[in-house]
Structure 1
């Protein structure tokens, strides 16, 4: 029977793989469709790739502490990267206008996902 900590860790790593996969798809799609700016699309895809790799490391190896700390660091970077679009996100939420709606939406998704993942990673203790 798995311990609650082990189950929580598995969930953290699974969410990291899922969020990472989604960010890679969002970044590549934004780059190909030129919906996102090139730098935002590449940043999103790289962050997603890193999260996905760290999630797989946590699921498939015994390097749990490495994976958890890496996921927490990547999530903190995601929050910082998405925070620069904070004023535009707030403007969209309250019904205002933003310069690039797809880019702002992607940034909001990165921040929300990163906050959830950072919370899960910090809650996990090995």
Structure 2
């Protein structure tokens, strides 16, 4: 493991969530890699989503809570460019070994990554406040 990987792991912190003997490889990756990165990058994700709202010219801030939740889902599931930008914010903090593990099962791990991120944004919808452009 090189210096970059050691620094990344120290910077991100340890696993979040239980890792049990019966945990699947995807579950282990989720708790050891994805959750710590999502926690670390939280402020960036919020700022990025606020920028997305502003660029979309939607009236997000006047939406009902239910409609805001749907907007978050649609933004991440349907806007491939935005989703890829979010994935890049996560993948940039992978170690080399984690990246190698990721590419072995990227489809399933992408699904987990985006679902965790959607839930994170939904849980913090009250922090999504309008900023002047």
TM-score, normalized by the shorter chain, greater than 0.5 = no
| Higher relative contact order (Cα pairs below 8 Å, separated by 6+ residues) | 2
Structure with greater proportional helix content: 1
Give me the TM-score of the superposition, normalised by structure 2.
Answer: 0.28
